[in-house]
Amino acid sequence: MTYLENSKQYTGTDLENIFFRPMLTGQSAKDLGIRVLYNMPRTTHVQLWEGQRNILQKFTSAGWSGSSAPSRAEKTIDLKRVKAELGFSAADYFSMVYEKIASIVDVNMEDLSGTLLEQAETELFRQALAENIRATMWVGDTSSEEGYNTFDGFIKIIEDLVNEGTITNFNFAEASLENNSYVTSIFDDLWNETSPRIRDLKANGELVYFVTSDLCYLYEKYLDEKGVDAAYIDSVNGRQQLAYHGIPIVDIHMGNYLSQTSFHQTFAMLTDRRNLVLAVNTADMPGNEVRMWYNPDEMENRQRAVFMAGCQVIDEGMITFAYKQQ
């Protein structure tokens, strides 16, 4: 066997259950660190509710004296129809799929069933697609002529709001980062500059610092300088999860992508995870599909996915943004 020639097409419930749902729900969605909505009706409306502040009243008389509904922030997510396409030479494609199958325990390599091949091909495409969705989720810019321009990502949305003056923000000089401990000053300023209602949400466990990799590295170096046994152990073994005063610090791992954009290269933000929303829809538009096929004329294996996706920041008042001067 040197080629994979059987065509595969996922539509409808197969598209949802076999291909997209495994990478957009459950632990896979949690790994993205933000709120993920999958197959919400189009147009997607998303809300962020704020708990009712005062519903207790004196019990002095009969009758109804219910107060107004809880306040909420609501936004519409503009889903863009996008497609993803990959092409591999037949020999290279078979080698990549074969390698994935070989990593499975108790597989008879002399008798590969169609199901195993399909799973390996699907996983190969799904990994590439998941990373591109993640990258566009952060650095997407529809005004760009090239690159990740299928829908606007969080950084584009946030920087536009910063320029409009609707997000609390401040900047810092590059020279200040020569001191490892300065990164804690950034975290402190983000905390102090945010509104009291955001600080009150800390107990919910959803507040998070999203930071670029260089700030994350500085914070690790700051922790390494602590003269305790735990700091030594962590400097050797690494740290699975960083936090500052109980709030998780999440490295967005976008350094390679940011370098290809005009966005701020170093930044940190404090927000509620639920405030940043990624929506993906594979159900509400005819023609949404995933297809994998072999082109004998070009001796090439091809993969294509057609779906809808978009991002939105629900409440700009729930973000505090700090960035390095460019």
Q: Would you state the pLDDT for residue 113?
A: 52
Question: Could you tell me whether strands 300-313 and 80-89 are parallel, antiparallel, or unpaired per DSSP bridges?
Answer: antiparallel
Asked if residues 34 and 273 have their Cβ atoms less than 8 Å apart, the reply is: yes
With beta carbons less than 8 A apart as the criterion, state whether 157 and 271 touch: no
pLDDT band of residue 123 (cuts 50, 70, 90) is confident
Residues 148 and 261: their CA atoms lie apart, in Å, by 9
If DSSP codes are grouped into helix, strand and coil, which group holds residue 78? coil
Q: Residue 49: what pLDDT? A: 65
Asked which of 69-83, 162-176, 187-201, 211-225 is least confident by mean pLDDT, the reply is: 69-83
Give the chain's mean pLDDT: 85
**Percentage of the chain surpassing pLDDT 90?**
42
Confidence of residue 70 (pLDDT cuts 50, 70, 90): low
Per-residue pLDDT for 65 more than 80?
Answer: no
Residues in CB range of 161: below 8 A, 6 or more apart:
167, 313, 316, 319
User: So what's the pLDDT on residue 95?
Assistant: 81
List the single range of 155-164, 172-181, 222-231 with lowest mean pLDDT. 222-231
At 105, list the tokens.
């325990």
- Check whether 283 has a pLDDT greater than 80: yes
Residues 237-279: tens digit of each pLDDT: 667 789 999 999 999 999 999 999 999 999 999 999 989 999 9
Q: Provide mean pLDDT across the span 55-69.
A: 68
128 SS3 class: helix
* Distance in angstroms (rounded) separating the CA atoms of residues 231 and 225: 7
Q: What is the pTM of this model?
A: 0.85
E strand or H helix that includes residue 200: none
Confidence label for 90 from pLDDT (cuts 50, 70 and 90): confident
pLDDT reported for residue 257: 95
Instruction: Read off the pLDDT band of 184 (50, 70, 90).
Output: very high
Give me the pLDDT at residue 104, please. 62
For the segment 19-34, what is each residue's pLDDT rounded down to a tens digit? 888 888 877 777 888 9
| More confident: 55 or 192 | 192
| Greater pLDDT, 64 or 67 | 64
Task: Judge whether residue 210 has pLDDT over 70.
Answer: yes
State the helix-helix crossing angle for 90-102 and 114-139, rounded to 10 degrees. 100
- Residue range 129-136: average pLDDT? 94
Span 221-229, average pLDDT: 80
Amino acid letter, 35: R
pLDDT tens profile 284-326:
888 899 998 989 898 898 999 999 999 999 888 899 999 998 7
Q: Yes or no: say if 171 and 322 are a contact pair by the CB < 8 Å rule.
A: yes
